[in-house]
Chains A and B, each alone.
Chain A
Amino acid sequence: MLMLAMIGRRVLGGLLTLLVVSVIVFVGTNILPGDATESILGQSTSPEAVAGLRKALGLNLPAHERYLRWLGGLLSGDPGVSLINRLPVAQLIGPRLANSVLLTALTAAVAVPLALLIGITTAIWRGSLYDRIANVTAVSLVAVPEFLLATVGVILFAVQLRWVSAISTPSVDSFTQAMQNFTLPVLTLCFAVTAQMARMTRAALLGVLDSSYIEMARLKGVRPTRLVLRHALRNAAGPIANAVALNLSSLLGGVIIVEVIFTYPGIAKLAVDAVETRDMPLVQACAMIFCATFMLLVLVADICSILSNPRLRTR
């Protein structure tokens, strides 16, 4: 019960935070006076046309009512109409979102097992040359901008070796085509996420390895590999799951850069294009999707830590 109550409190807290985020996004994008009518009708129009359009768009309402209408629209799956091509935002976002989910899911499918492997092996051979090299590499990779990894990848594999194409489309018709399209974006996204995730996995395992029951097992003569895999890993599972979920959330920043570099038709590219054309309804909707996904991953990370804590497992 205690556990359920804690999870319930986290979920509520998350929803409350998301509500505050929606206020920030709405106020941030509405704070400047120039409103949508100008960008739709242009500068030289009759006052009647402006007044009519303002009414049609609901811009004559006071700010808090507009916010409530916008929020209601978001929740019911109708976040408004694009200012640029007059299409419903939901229709623009739908297919793009699916593409982005595909890209990030592929990245996670590569990054998570790799990070766990590196994290666990570096914890087993702690202090070895392999561990130290892996650590310095990971620290460095976290600090490398995505566009460096992407440009190096393109120059190496697309321009010099001609293995893959420099522009990515989300087609998965055949295996070779999918490899061609996804290798570079997925690889670029993987580097930073894997590095940080592996470091946190290692740290979580080492935290458990310092406890006294491990000392006991070691004194009984358990080998290091078995010690880590059988004794430590089970108790480190919670913190590791926490690290995985938290680090997946950092993908959300990287995906913006990567989609633009490879002109991948995902939601991040859509958001950047919308910022360039100042298409506010689209920007707001994309921002809210990013924030909601981010919150969800943080929530999953929290819940993983709660579930893995046996002290909360009381009846």
Chain B
Amino acid sequence: MTDTAIAAPRRRRLPVAGQAGIALVVAWAALAAFGPYLAPYRAGDVVNAGVFAPMSNAYPFGTDYLGRDMLSRLLYGARYTVGVAMVATVLACLGGITLGILSAARQGWTDSVLGRAADALISIPHLMFALVIVAAFGTSLPVLILMAAISYVPGSYRFARSLALDINAMDFVEVARARGERTAYVVWAEILPNMIVPLLTDFGLRFVFVVLLLSGLSFLGLGIQPPNADWGALVRENINGIYEAAPAVLVPAVAIAVLTISITLLIDGFSGRGRAMAR
């Protein structure tokens, strides 16, 4: 029988995309942790190859607008792009999950106040929120991390809340309550363990968005400030190399794309069906 629009089996994609994804995620974490130790030159060293040099054996990714080794710049930048985004995402998800479970467990006015606040915060486009915060507080690492975290708390909150509400309505939770367990126990031992897998995929998606937000901000010149540079800032400082098609412009942008795509494909492999990821 041929596949028709209805009868086509749902394919499990984990073997292909998922395994490659896992390998890549481990590689990214290692890169963020050990990047600077692997770099052949220090981030500020001007090497003897001229400005916007093409790819070569000595300088695999060429040189930047000041004649610095691009590979080394990239390895130093990994700490900012991967590390900062990771910290911000962890904060956002911890905040969102805590508030979400609180909202689902308490309900009543706690729920409606938190829900309203999330509605308001979620209707400010992330990059616009970032611009307002940077205009008000300037750019420093704590401001950037907090801004990205706050910006993604509402999304995580909504996800965790609806998840907790679903599980809360299940029989085994009912049984635990009937046994006379306290709310704290029910949340910790019954609800939370069943939320972990969806929360992990949500964490991954949010990490991708935070990476894109922060590198977009750096690309606008409002993120990580010189002499330090994350990958978005590397694209910005080398933007004039675009007219010479220098690898210095493309390589950091491609690095971001490889990072985000690998994680998205991994998540897609896990969750299978296309979960709406607009927000």
B188 within 8 A of A: no
Decide: A291 and B128 in contact? CB cutoff 8 A: yes
Tell me if A20 counts as interface (CB < 8 A to partner B). Answer: yes
Contact B277 A151 (CB under 8 A): no
Residue A274 at the chain B interface, CB threshold 8 Å: yes
Mark interface residues in A259-296 (1 if CB within 8 Å of B CB, else 0): 01000000000011011101010011011001100110
- B30 part of interface (Cβ distance < 8 Å): no
Interface size class of B (residues with CB under 8 A): 35 or more
Q: Which residues of B contact A298 (CB under 8 A)?
A: 123
Closest to A284 in B: B132
| B88 adjacent to chain A (CB < 8 Å) | no
Contact check, A147 vs B235: say whether CB atoms are below 8 A apart. Answer: yes
Q: Is A164 in contact with chain B by the CB < 8 A criterion?
A: no
Instruction: Indicate which residue in A13, A146, A151, A246 contacts B249 across the interface (CB closer than 8 Å).
Output: A151
Which residues on A sit within 8 Å (CB–CB) of B249? 151, 155
A274-B5 CB under 8 A given contacts A18-B123, A144-B257, A291-B128: no
Q: For the complex, is A215 an interface residue (Cβ under 8 Å from B)?
A: yes
Q: Does A209 make an interface contact (CB < 8 A)?
A: yes
Q: Shortest Cβ distance from A109 into chain B, in angstroms? A: 21
Interface residues of B in 195-250 (CB under 8 A from A): 208, 212, 215-216, 219-222, 232, 235, 239, 242-243, 245, 249-250
Cβ-closest chain A residue relative to B16: A136
Q: Which B residues are in CB contact (< 8 Å) with A224?
A: 4-5
The DSSP consensus for interface residues of chain A is: helix
What does the 1/0 interface line of A123-141 toward B look like (CB < 8 Å)? 1111110001001100110
A271 touches B257 (CB 8 A): no
Does residue A154 face the partner (Cβ distance < 8 Å to B)? yes
In B251-274, which residues have CB < 8 Å from any A CB?
Answer: 253-254, 256-257, 260-261, 263-265, 268, 273-274
Q: How far is the CA of A264 from the CA of B9 in the complex (A)?
A: 47
B192 on the interface (CB 8 Å rule)? no
**How close is B133's CB to chain A, nearest CB, in angstroms?**
6
Restricting to B1-34, which residues have a CB under 8 Å from any CB of A?
3-9, 11, 17
28 sample A-B contacts, Cβ–Cβ < 8 Å, listed by A number:
A20-B117, A24-B120, A25-B132, A32-B137, A135-B268, A136-B17, A140-B265, A142-B277, A143-B208, A145-B219, A199-B274, A200-B276, A200-B278, A203-B274, A210-B6, A214-B6, A218-B7, A228-B5, A247-B278, A253-B125, A253-B216, A256-B131, A256-B216, A271-B131, A274-B135, A287-B131, A291-B128, A294-B124
List of 10 A-B pairs having minimum Cβ-Cβ separation, nearest first: A127-B8, A20-B120, A143-B260, A148-B253, A143-B264, A224-B5, A275-B135, A290-B128, A253-B127, A140-B261
Other than the known A148-B254, A160-B245, what 8 A-B pairs have Cβ atoms closer than 8 Å? A17-B116, A127-B9, A136-B265, A148-B250, A148-B256, A210-B6, A218-B4, A253-B128
